[in-house]
Amino acid sequence: MDNTEPEHIGKTFYSEHAVTSGGARIVLSVWEPPAPEAAIVFIPATMVHPLYYEPLLRGFAERGFAVVGLHPVGHGKSPRDVKRYTLRDIVQNGRDTVTFALERFRLPVIAFGSSQGGIVAAALAAEDGRIAAAFPHNVMLSELPDSIAVSRFPRWFRHMYRPMQGALKLFARLLPDLRLPLDFYLDRARIGNESEVWEPFERDPLCLKRYSLHFLASLFTTRFPGLTDGSVRCPLYVVADSGDRLFTPEYTQKVFNRLRAPHKELVVLNTGGHMLMITHPREVCDALSAKIREVLNG
């Protein structure tokens, strides 16, 4: 394991660690307060990395939680030598990050992810029995035809959703390394505004700007049946925003109704959009810190 020297930021120490996951090297960003109550494993959204959320993650550390931010395979500070990976590979990265957090802190571990990372955090709730609770910001069920609404494609495409998934898999086999921009499948205007979200994204050299068709096919076709068949054994808190135009309240409620967990709760914030983790980190930290402490005390 390769470690950077810890950097002291106020009462929080920041360090980076390289670990092996699925045969590839990945990097973890760690924010550590003096006496943490629990460890949060954070999985970032589409094409970005934990440092993109630095005010949010440092905020959790300042509130008494250790934070381990995952740079998924091929993302952020992780090496770019792996050209083909799938959503399943990022889930495996998440599991290995949970292992790191458990071994380093020996505290309850909370899985927390945003958008695409929320899908991974939910998958960990279904498939990794070691976590104390999961806080996915957004969940997508790829088997649900209404999931087409998350993309930029017209909603009436849901009537041909299954054939579309089949066609996507076929094209991914034929052209796996075709690299497509985010705008190909997501509407930027529904995600966030230019100055708060997209200008920092475009300036950041660690952010990816394209995904392979190989990965996109996995994103829209990988299923996690454990989310709906009773396999989840930990509390599941689905985080949403009332003003989210990407994962709309209607879609989120439909997904939430299908989830099965010993305890599930829909935590709705009112910050006004999908990128609340970037635009309103203090409000998110305050709301979710209270919920995490409910888990720790419960």
Asked, for residue 201, whether it belongs to a domain, the answer is no
User: What's the rounded Cα separation, in Å, for the pair 237 and 228?
Assistant: 15
The tens digit of pLDDT for each residue in 86-107 reads: 999 999 999 999 999 999 999 9
Asked, for residue 167, whether it belongs to a domain, the answer is no
Asked, for residue 160, whether it belongs to a domain, the answer is no
Structural domain containing residue 231: 2-144+222-297
Asked, for residue 113, whether it belongs to a domain, the answer is yes
Encoded tokens for 167: 């066609």
* Per-chain mean pLDDT for the chain: 94
Asked, for residue 10, whether it belongs to a domain, the answer is yes
Q: How many domains does the chain have?
A: 1
Residue for token pair 């990128």: 275
Report percent pLDDT > 90 for the chain. Answer: 87
pTM, two decimal places: 0.94
Q: Which residues pair with 189 in a beta bridge?
A: none
pLDDT of residue 272: 82
281-297 vs 54-62: helix crossing angle, rounded to 10: 40
User: What's the rounded Cα separation, in Å, for the pair 33 and 66?
Assistant: 6
The tens digit of pLDDT for each residue in 270-295 reads: 988 999 999 999 999 999 999 999 99
Domain with residue 67: its CATH number is 3.40.50.1820
Asked, for residue 194, whether it belongs to a domain, the answer is no
Asked, for residue 150, whether it belongs to a domain, the answer is no
pLDDT (mean) for 139-153: 92
Please check the confidence at residue 2 and state whether its pLDDT lies above 70.
Answer: no
The tens digit of pLDDT for each residue in 5-63 reads: 556 555 789 999 999 999 999 999 999 999 999 999 999 999 999 999 999 999 999 99
Taking the alpha carbons of 123, 126, 127, 128 in that order, is the dihedral positive or negative? positive
